């Protein structure tokens, strides 16, 4: 494409995985820069009871679409409930596959709390009650995939361990074994075991929660991320000679 060949144009990637994809499409590696999307650390912060003392609540926040992997979470939750009858699953979000997911849960005989789409303050309150956040992202049949889900940053900023699939930018969003657990994309058994581990080991969950907060603050602070991006724009603009078109940036 024309932009890829224009040396004055730089590209912003929201994760290293997206950067690699852009380079694979032919964009020069020195014109693709990773800049994370920051989160508001004043809004998303720890609260509620310590994670290790909470009920066994699994929280999902996201659209009900294929790439978010809700279908795999429901299947894994059925297996978790067989081992932990007191485990709960709360799913926040709406989308075209909602009815399909609800039918799946009904057929498996597992109770899921469907909250629909909610504002960020409600999501934050749910983080304060969750013992683990789960986003089992997959690559959809049409190729649609995650960049770096903001919600896993928000969960960690709130001190909630994250279980997510090891695909795309998601693995950049956690520290496996320290702030959460990653499992192979589409591996329902791996997802089940990861959830059982976090839910069944309160000490581990507490350590992950403690590590998650400083990790999120150091990497995903909105003010810092914005300052880096502004610095990039200033630097690129200074390289353009008078009379030339301004430097462009594409995400």
- All structural domains of the chain, each given as residue ranges with its CATH number in brackets, are 2-38+221-250 (no CATH), 51-219 (3.40.50.2000)
- Confidence category of residue 251, pLDDT binned at 50, 70, 90: very low
β-sheet with 113-116: strand ranges across: 113-116, 88-92, 57-61, 132-135, 162-165, 180-183
Both tokens of 90, joined, read: 């709360």
Give the integer Cα–Cα distance in Å for 13 and 170: 14
Say what percent of the chain tops pLDDT 70. 90
CA atoms of 212 and 102, how far apart (whole Å)? 31
CA separation, residue 89 to residues 63, 84, 104, 111, 179 (Å): 16, 12, 14, 8, 20
Q: Is 86 helix (H, G, I), strand (E, B) or coil?
A: coil
pLDDT class for 240, splitting at 50, 70, 90? Answer: low
Percent of all residues in the chain with a pLDDT value above 90, rounded to a whole number: 67
Q: Using one digit for the tens of pLDDT, what is the confidence trace for 18-60?
A: 787 777 777 887 778 778 888 999 999 999 999 999 999 999 9
Those residues whose C-beta lies under 8 Å from the C-beta of residue 89, and which sit 6 or more positions away, are 57, 58, 60, 73, 74, 77, 110, 111, 112, 113
Higher per-residue pLDDT: 239 or 79 = 79
Cite the DSSP H helix spans in 68-179: 70-83, 98-108, 120-127, 150-157
Average pLDDT over residues 91-110: 98
Tell me what the mean pLDDT of segment 184-212 comes to. Answer: 98
**Residue 6 pLDDT greater than 80, yes or no:** no
Q: Which of 131, 120, 153, 143 is nearest to 202 (CA)?
A: 131
- For the chain, give the mean pLDDT: 89
Phi, psi of 114, rounded to the nearest 5 degrees? -95, 115
How many whole angstroms separate alpha carbon 13 and alpha carbon 145? Answer: 14
Residue 227 pLDDT: 82
Cα distance between the two ends of the chain: 15
């Amino acid at each position: 494409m024309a932009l890829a060949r224009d040396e004055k144009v730089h590209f912003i990637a929201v994760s290293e995985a997206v950067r690699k994809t852009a380079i694979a499409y032919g964009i020069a590696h020195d014109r693709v820069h990773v800049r994370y999307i920051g989160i508001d650390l004043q809004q998303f912060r720890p609260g509620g009871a310590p994670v290790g003392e909470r009920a066994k609540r699994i929280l999902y926040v996201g659209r009900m679409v294929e790439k978010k992997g809700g279908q795999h979470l429901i299947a894994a939750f059925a297996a978790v409930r067989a081992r932990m009858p007191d485990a709960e699953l709360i799913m926040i979000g709406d989308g075209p596959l909602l009815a399909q997911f609800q039918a799946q849960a009904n057929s498996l005989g597992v109770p899921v709390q469907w909250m629909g789409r909610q504002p960020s303050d409600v999501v934050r309150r749910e983080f304060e009650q969750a013992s683990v956040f789960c986003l089992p992202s997959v690559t959809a049949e049409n190729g649609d995939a995650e960049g770096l889900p903001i919600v896993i940053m928000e969960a960690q900023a709130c001190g909630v361990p994250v279980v997510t699939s090891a695909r795309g930018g998601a693995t950049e969003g956690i520290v496996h074994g320290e702030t959460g657990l990653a499992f192979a994309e589409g591996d329902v058994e791996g997802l089940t075991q990861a959830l059982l581990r976090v839910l069944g080991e309160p000490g581990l969950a507490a350590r992950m929660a403690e590590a998650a907060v400083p990790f999120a603050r150091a990497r995903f602070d909105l003010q810092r991320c914005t300052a880096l991006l502004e610095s990039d724009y200033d630097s690129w603009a200074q390289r353009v000679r008078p009379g030339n078109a301004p430097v462009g940036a594409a995400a």
